[in-house]
């Protein structure tokens, strides 16, 4: 029954988390400290050296294969295939509750094969029928998943995990058939692992590579993003907020709002609701004129349990004291940006020209670039521009009067516009000689 | 965002006796807190000094505070504000106060006076909430608003105003009768208190320790709610301080406000009353007609009350 409370997408993300956790464990990568750095692995390596996660599925199978380092036999016995986490698991991983991998497998289908190799050792699960296994309840040993021990991988490059699930559940097959699942997965994966894709891993879905989403945070010579950093109960929190970069001289409402990340995983994307402080406390409701706003809230901890995410890892635990405190400060750093956007759209549409010039000049900036500087508030320092020398004049005049002037000038072909210009120039010349 | 209001055009700030009594009481309170271990001299004072800076002058002269920031959002009087700065150590900033609050130094304690001259708006509550989030422990927050009926002459309209402006802080169970004229100060106090609580949510071991709740009237009836963002240490210090003995101290925002009423008295009458101060309960002068209520009101404020005279400068 416990497979019902989670969506198919969440399950697949859980399987990807498992792969990324392999990378964290075997490369001894402390995600909580390196994820914001410019680059650690990929900086020195070429794209070809990124670790690979390949996902494929059809109506008969689902498979995820990675070379992210594999799961140690010891971990498989004590942690991965145990219900709940073994105590003392730290290092800034993504698998929080220890049930992710098993839950995902059970949700997808009835039979699974699994093979995992580290460079030290390996294990396999051969065609385990989950349903039959779950029904067996003769003695305590029946609760253990039967593992076959194998040798380790011949090189680090080949160490990894493959999970293949067959006899998919009918509701999973239905989703696969509906034709929109792939596109949805592509976009969810692209957003969720925005900070991993292209830096640590390359992910493919049914043979096609997934491009990592770029959070459209911007800056320019005139626009300085806000940055705040603080620690609360062992959780390091960094907040970034600025104007969004534009596409075709326009801000996109879909990508505006707050992005909340826990240990590098995007938990909430482009949020414009009270969840991230809009329309409550010190921020107004989201409005289309605020679509130039982008904020990123980054929570990191070696202990994933202390992060404010929910068990599905795609929501925030609003009861978390750490999150409540952070949310109030998210509102604080957002305020000056809201003031700026308010001033750009004084009379709704269109935006004022000075604001547009500033907005169009905003270029992408990485979180790591901003975090190199001390905490600062959002500021716009407009460059002095040449003030436009011309202004257009428009007014209404009685047709009869225009006709009188036209006749007087004997300029029968002139339109009202030209007559207006002529009278203006005439006044300027005769009454205001230089 | 709130539009800048222009009460500075309506009345000379120095000639508001009730407001002045309030200022003197606040200064008195800060002096008492200084004696209790709060080093008020080292606090930063941030206010909305307009072009008169009356509070800045008092704070600098009487408390010795020299870190001062005046925030105004009226860009049309930018030069006047700068021109009228009373001391070199008063810094000025033209910006909405809500944009400035997150920038206040985390390493200092602050006295922040959100001294609005209009009726309560949502943007005010946003500022208040922000202040509760950002002010470091030991800082003092003061909020002043106009508590006259916001618009029209019907309590139903007033309720509507508070429902709109109070947004999520508004208590939907309140009925039209809860918006009787005399209950409007209470409605304002409750909304401000809720905004403070919301700004504090998530902060560890910190609470709002109420100190002030003034109601006064020079023209419009005004309310000032104030207190300290503090932990149990600050709470203990305040409870043991002489401030707790004063008649204007308000430990709980649910208690009735301290009403500042300045009776209209001639100079001669005032001198006569002063001779009897502090007088016994129920005492009234036999030489002229003055109700016991007025005498009582005077007894509460006489040590803080300004005297006005024409000076030919």
**Could you give the C-alpha distances from B111 to A72, A224, A335, B65, B68, in angstroms and in order?**
58, 28, 21, 10, 10
Q: Is B107 on the interface with A (CB under 8 A)?
A: no
Q: Given a cut of 50, is residue B78 above it in pLDDT?
A: yes
Q: Given a cut of 50, is residue A43 above it in pLDDT?
A: no
> Phi/psi zone of residue A92: left (φ > 0), alpha (ψ -120 to 50 degrees), beta?
left
Beta strand A257-262 pairing with A293-300 = parallel
Q: Given a cut of 70, is residue A350 above it in pLDDT?
A: no
Q: Given a cut of 60, is residue B109 above it in pLDDT?
A: yes
Q: Given a cut of 70, is residue A92 above it in pLDDT?
A: no
* Dist. CA A357–CA A383, nearest whole Å: 10
Contact B143, B174 (CB under 8 A): no
Q: Name the one residue in this structure whose structure tokens are 């009234």.
A: B284
- Band the pLDDT of B121: cuts 50, 70, 90: very high
Q: Name the one residue in this structure whose structure tokens are 């005498």.
A: B295
Q: Given a cut of 90, is residue A345 above it in pLDDT?
A: no
Task: Give the model's pLDDT for residue A305.
Answer: 85
Task: Give the model's pLDDT for residue A313.
Answer: 80
Q: Calculate the average pLDDT of chain B.
A: 92
DSSP notation for A199-222: TTEEEEETTEEPPPPPP-BEE-SS
Q: Is A280 on the interface with B (CB under 8 A)?
A: yes
**What average pLDDT does range A324-339 have in this prediction?**
92
Task: Give the model's pLDDT for residue A342.
Answer: 87
Q: Which of B109, B93, B107 is nearest to B45 (CA)?
A: B109
Task: Give the model's pLDDT for residue A99.
Answer: 55
Which of B130, B167, B168 is opposite residue A331, by nearest beta carbon?
B130
Per-residue pLDDT of B269-311, as tens digits, reads 999 999 999 999 999 999 999 999 999 999 999 999 988 777 7
B102 with A279: Cβ contact below 8 A: no
**What average pLDDT does range B32-36 have in this prediction?**
95
* Dist. CA A422–CA A409, nearest whole Å: 10
A325 with B198: Cβ contact below 8 A: no
Q: Calculate the average pLDDT of chain A.
A: 84
Instruction: Give the nearest chain B residue to A233 (CA atoms).
Output: B204
Handedness of CA B102, B105, B106, B111 (dihedral sign): negative
Q: Given a cut of 70, is residue B43 above it in pLDDT?
A: yes
Classified as helix, coil or strand, A192 is helix
Please count the other Cβ atoms lying within 10 Å of the Cβ belonging to residue B254. 12
- For residue B141, what are the β-bridge partners? B112, B227
Contact A322, A235 (CB under 8 A): yes
Contact A197, A210 (CB under 8 A): yes
- For residue B91, what are the β-bridge partners? B69
Task: Give the model's pLDDT for residue A258.
Answer: 96
Pick among A290, A332, A380 to test the B interface (most B CBs inside 10 A): A332
**What average pLDDT does range A419-428 have in this prediction?**
91
Termini Cα distance of chain B:
41
Task: Give the model's pLDDT for residue A433.
Answer: 81
Q: Given a cut of 50, is residue A83 above it in pLDDT?
A: no
Q: Given a cut of 60, is residue A91 above it in pLDDT?
A: no
Under 8 Å CB pairs connecting chains A and B tally to 76
* Dist. CA B130–CA A332, nearest whole Å: 6
Cis, peptide link before residue B278, omega less than 30° from 0 = yes
Task: Give the model's pLDDT for residue A279.
Answer: 85
- Band the pLDDT of A1: cuts 50, 70, 90: very low
**What average pLDDT does range A394-402 have in this prediction?**
90
Task: Give the model's pLDDT for residue A47.
Answer: 66
Q: Is A239 on the interface with B (CB under 8 A)?
A: no
A280 with B167: Cβ contact below 8 A: yes
* Tokens describing residue A263: 């240990």
B1 with A342: Cβ contact below 8 A: yes
Q: What is the DSSP letter of A80?
A: I
Chain A residues close to B103, C-beta within 8 Å: 377
Q: Is B129 on the interface with A (CB under 8 A)?
A: yes
The reported pTM is 0.78
Task: Give the model's pLDDT for residue B76.
Answer: 83
* Dist. CA A260–CA A335, nearest whole Å: 18
**What average pLDDT does range A184-211 have in this prediction?**
93
Task: Give the model's pLDDT for residue B32.
Answer: 97
Q: Is B202 on the interface with A (CB under 8 A)?
A: yes
Q: How far is A232 from chain B (nearest CA, A)?
A: 9
Per-residue pLDDT of A118-135, as tens digits, reads 999 999 988 888 878 777
> Predicted ipTM?
0.74
User: Where in chain B is CATH 3.40.50.150?
Assistant: 7-260
Termini Cα distance of chain A:
90
- For residue A168, what are the β-bridge partners? A109
**What average pLDDT does range B246-255 have in this prediction?**
96
Q: Please tell me the least confidently modeled range out of A344-348, B82-86, B172-176.
A: A344-348
Q: Is B197 on the interface with A (CB under 8 A)?
A: no
A332 with B96: Cβ contact below 8 A: no
Contact B46, B112 (CB under 8 A): yes
* Dist. CA A114–CA A18, nearest whole Å: 13
Q: Is A330 on the interface with B (CB under 8 A)?
A: no
- Band the pLDDT of B206: cuts 50, 70, 90: very high
**What average pLDDT does range B221-241 have in this prediction?**
96
Per-residue pLDDT of A13-23, as tens digits, reads 989 998 988 88
Task: Give the model's pLDDT for residue B1.
Answer: 47
H/E segment holding residue A151: strand A148-151
Beta strand A226-232 pairing with A235-243 = antiparallel
> Phi/psi zone of residue B71: left (φ > 0), alpha (ψ -120 to 50 degrees), beta?
beta
Of all residues in chain B, what percent carry a pLDDT higher than 90?
Answer: 81
DSSP notation for A44-64: TS-GGGSEEEEEEE-SSEEEE
Give the class (CATH, top level) of B7-260. alpha beta
Please count the other Cβ atoms lying within 10 Å of the Cβ belonging to residue A302. 17
Question: Phi then psi for B115, rounded to 5 degrees?
Answer: -100, 80
Per-residue pLDDT of A249-278, as tens digits, reads 889 899 999 999 998 899 999 999 999 999
Q: Identify the residue with better confidence: A288 or A87.
A: A288
Task: Give the model's pLDDT for residue A402.
Answer: 93
Chain A residues close to B98, C-beta within 8 Å: 282, 335, 339
Per-residue pLDDT of A139-148, as tens digits, reads 656 567 788 8
Per-residue pLDDT of B162-202, as tens digits, reads 999 998 899 999 999 999 999 999 999 999 999 999 999 98
How far, in whole angstroms, is CA B159 from its chain's centroid?
Answer: 24
Classified as helix, coil or strand, A185 is helix
**What average pLDDT does range A36-48 have in this prediction?**
57
Per-residue pLDDT of A281-310, as tens digits, reads 677 889 888 999 999 999 998 888 889 998
Of all residues in chain A, what percent carry a pLDDT higher than 70?
Answer: 85
Task: Give the model's pLDDT for residue A80.
Answer: 66
């Amino acid at each position: 029954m416990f497979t019902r409370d989670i969506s198919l997408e969440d399950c697949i993300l859980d399987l990807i988390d498992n792969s990324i956790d392999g990378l964290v464990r075997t490369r001894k990568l402390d995600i909580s400290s390196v994820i914001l750095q410019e680059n650690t692995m990929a900086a020195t390596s070429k794209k070809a050296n990124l670790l690979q996660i390949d996902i494929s599925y059809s109506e008969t199978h689902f498979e995820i294969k990675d070379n992210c380092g594999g799961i140690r036999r010891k971990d498989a016995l004590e942690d991965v295939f145990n219900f709940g986490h073994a105590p003392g698991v730290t290092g800034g991983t993504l698998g929080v509750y220890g049930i992710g991998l098993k839950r995902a497998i059970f949700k997808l289908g009835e039979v699974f094969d699994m093979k995992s190799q580290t460079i030290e050792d390996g294990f396999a699960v051969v065609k385990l029928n989950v349903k039959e296994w779950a029904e067996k309840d003769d003695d305590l040993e029946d609760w253990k998943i039967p593992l076959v021990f194998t040798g380790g991988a011949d090189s680090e490059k080949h160490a990894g995990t493959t999970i293949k699930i067959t006899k998919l559940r009918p509701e999973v097959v239905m989703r696969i058939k509906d034709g929109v699942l792939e596109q949805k997965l592509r976009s969810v994966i692209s957003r969720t692992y925005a900070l991993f894709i292209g830096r640590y891993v390359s992910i493919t879905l049914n043979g096609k590579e997934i491009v990592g989403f770029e959070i459209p945070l911007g800056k320019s010579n005139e626009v300085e993003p806000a940055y705040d950093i603080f620690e609360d109960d062992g959780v390091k929190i960094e907040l970034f907020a600025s104007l969004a970069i534009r596409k075709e001289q326009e801000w996109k409402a879909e990508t505006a709002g707050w992005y909340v990340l826990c240990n590098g995983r995007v938990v909430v994307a482009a949020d414009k609701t009270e969840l991230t402080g809009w329309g409550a406390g010190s921020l107004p409701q989201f409005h289309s004129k605020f679509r130039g706003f982008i904020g990123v809230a980054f929570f990191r901890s070696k202990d994933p349990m202390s992060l404010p995410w929910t068990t599905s890892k795609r929501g925030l635990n609003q009861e978390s004291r750490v999150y409540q405190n952070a949310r109030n400060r998210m509102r604080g750093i957002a305020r000056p940006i809201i003031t700026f956007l308010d001033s750009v759209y004084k009379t709704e549409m269109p935006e004022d020209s000075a604001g547009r010039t500033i907005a169009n000049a905003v270029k992408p900036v990485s979180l790591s670039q901003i975090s190199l500087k001390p905490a600062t508030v959002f500021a716009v320092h407009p460059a002095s521009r040449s003030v436009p020398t011309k202004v257009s004049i428009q007014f209404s005049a009685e047709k009869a009067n225009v006709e009188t002037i036209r006749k007087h000038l004997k300029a029968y072909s002139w339109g009202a516009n030209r007559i207006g210009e002529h009278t203006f120039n005439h006044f300027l010349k005769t009454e205001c000689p230089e | 965002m709130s539009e800048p209001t222009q009460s500075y055009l309506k009345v000379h700030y120095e000639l508001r006796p009730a407001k002045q009594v309030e200022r003197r009481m606040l200064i008195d309170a800060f002096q008492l807190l200084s004696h209790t271990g709060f080093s008020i001299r080292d606090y930063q004072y941030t206010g909305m000094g307009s072009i008169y800076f009356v509070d800045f002058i008092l704070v600098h002269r009487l408390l010795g505070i020299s870190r001062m920031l005046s925030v105004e959002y009226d860009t049309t009087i930018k030069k006047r504000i700068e021109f009228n700065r009373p001391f070199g150590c008063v810094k000025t900033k033209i910006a909405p106060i809500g944009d400035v609050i997150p920038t206040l130094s985390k390493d200092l304690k602050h006295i922040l006076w959100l001294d609005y001259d209009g009726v309560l708006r949502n943007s005010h509550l946003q500022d208040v909430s922000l202040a509760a989030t950002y002010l470091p422990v030991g800082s003092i927050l003061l909020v002043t608003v106009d508590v006259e009926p916001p618009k029209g002459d019907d309590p139903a309209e007033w309720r509507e105003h508070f429902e709109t402006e109070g947004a999520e802080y508004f208590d939907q169970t309140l009925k039209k009768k809860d918006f009787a004229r005399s209950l409007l100060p209470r409605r304002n106090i409750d909304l401000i208190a809720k905004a403070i609580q919301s700004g504090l949510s998530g902060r560890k071991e910190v609470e709002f320790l109420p100190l002030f709740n003034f109601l006064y009237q020079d023209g419009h009836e005004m309310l000032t709610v104030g207190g300290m963002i503090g932990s149990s240490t600050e709470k203990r210090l305040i409870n043991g301080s002489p401030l707790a003995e004063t008649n204007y101290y308000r430990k709980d925002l649910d208690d009735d406000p301290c009403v500042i009423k300045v009776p209209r008295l001639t100079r001669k009458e005032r001198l006569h009353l002063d001779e009897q101060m502090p007088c016994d309960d129920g005492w009234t002068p036999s030489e002229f007609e003055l109700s016991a209520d007025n005498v009582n009101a005077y007894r509460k404020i006489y040590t803080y009350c300004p005297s006005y005279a024409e000076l030919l400068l």
